[in-house]
């Protein structure tokens, strides 16, 4: 077979193009740190990578939910502490109002203090954080507590009734949300992300005819002080203590939820680290190996260029002759 200059140049061109393409591919892998830029280059690895990326996306969404919940829990605890302070002030004011030496004018002054405390209570339980009402239960977009004819209502329900909604709001923080056939959340599934205000303020009437609701109970105290009737003072004080204890229970419950959410956040961080490590093994290049491959490709390319210069040079001389 006769080897002509044209054949040599043709073969050289193919070899040079192959070396150039390989040089380009290796350079891209070194610069990006990725084994491949298109899924078609390594379909098996691309499929595994897709599954990992999908898991990472879920984990990052859970972390975002957890971060939002942590902020909400902090706001809830702060608000409950504010209610506890209101009840402490109420106890002190009631003790003063029950003093036998007080004039009716003085008792009216104490009654006005309770009216002011009522306003504080209403403002606290209608706290809106990040566009959501923290004590609305499943209702987070509308004001949960309203006043009608001097009485407080929770999502339209009269708080003096014995049956008021205490429905909870749950969210998926990486554990999944699973309900049984009766619509009840299965144990260990989902995280409570809201505190129903009906449990915070209380509802119904006790056996002594006193309201279990803080706001409505304050109204009863105001009426008693303004009428000068302090005969039930001891019962009022006992009721305030019970309400204060309930708020402490609510604060403790929020604190426990905060610890659990912190545990979930740590677990999500660990899961994310593990997924990132797997992703790096599948998608990422070995830096030392990639650099070695780069220098080899560059050497091959430069060698091809040098060889080509000799082939092309002799061909030109032949043409000039």
pLDDT at 241 over 70: yes
Q: What is the pLDDT at residue 195?
A: 85
Residue 12 pLDDT class (50, 70, 90 cuts): low
CA 256 to chain centre: 17
Q: What percent of the chain has pLDDT over 90?
A: 38
Give the Cα separation of 207 and 187 in Å (integer). 34
Q: What is the DSSP letter of 37?
A: S
Q: Is residue 57 over pLDDT 60?
A: yes
Read off φ and ψ for residue 211, nearest 5 degrees.
-70, 140
Task: For 296-306, write each residue's pLDDT tens digit.
Answer: 666 666 666 66
- Architecture field, domain 51-278: Up-down Bundle (1.20)
pLDDT in tens, 126-144: 999 989 999 998 888 999 9
Rounded Cα distance between 134 and 320, Å, is 90
Tell me if 135 sits within 8 A of 165, measured CB to CB: no
Q: Give, in order, the Cα–Cα distances in Å from 38 to each of 34, 42, 54.
A: 10, 8, 17
Q: With a cut of 70, say whether residue 27 has pLDDT above it.
A: no
pTM for this model (two decimals): 0.72
């Amino acid at each position: 077979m006769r080897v002509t200059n044209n054949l040599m140049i043709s073969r050289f061109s193919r070899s040079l193009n192959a070396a150039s393409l390989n040089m380009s591919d290796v350079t891209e892998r070194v610069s990006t740190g990725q084994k491949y830029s298109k899924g078609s280059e390594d379909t098996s690895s691309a499929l595994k990578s897709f599954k990992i990326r999908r898991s990472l996306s879920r984990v990052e969404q859970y972390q975002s939910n957890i971060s939002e919940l942590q902020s909400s829990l902090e706001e809830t605890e702060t608000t409950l502490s504010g209610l506890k302070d209101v009840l402490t002030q109420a106890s002190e004011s009631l003790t003063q109002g029950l003093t036998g030496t007080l004039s009716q004018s003085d008792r009216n002054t104490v009654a006005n203090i309770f009216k002011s405390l009522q306003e504080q209570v209403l403002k606290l339980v209608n706290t809106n954080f990040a566009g959501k009402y923290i004590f609305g239960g499943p209702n987070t977009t509308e004001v949960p507590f309203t006043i009608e004819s001097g009485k407080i209502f929770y999502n339209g329900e009269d708080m003096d009734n014995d049956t008021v909604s205490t429905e909870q709001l749950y969210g998926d923080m990486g554990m999944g949300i699973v309900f049984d056939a009766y619509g009840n959340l299965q144990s260990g599934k989902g995280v409570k992300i809201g505190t129903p205000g009906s449990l915070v303020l209380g509802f119904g009437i006790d056996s002594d005819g006193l309201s279990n609701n803080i706001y409505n109970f304050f109204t009863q105290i105001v009426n008693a002080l303004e009428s000068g009737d302090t005969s039930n003072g001891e019962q009022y004080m006992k009721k305030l203590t019970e309400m204060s204890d309930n708020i402490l229970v609510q604060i403790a419950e929020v604190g426990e939820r905060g610890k659990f959410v912190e545990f979930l956040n740590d677990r999500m961080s660990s899961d994310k680290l593990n997924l990132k490590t797997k992703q790096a093994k599948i998608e990422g290049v070995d830096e030392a190996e990639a650099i070695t491959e780069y220098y080899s490709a560059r050497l091959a390319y430069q060698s091809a260029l040098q060889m080509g210069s000799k082939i092309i040079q002799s061909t030109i001389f032949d043409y000039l002759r």
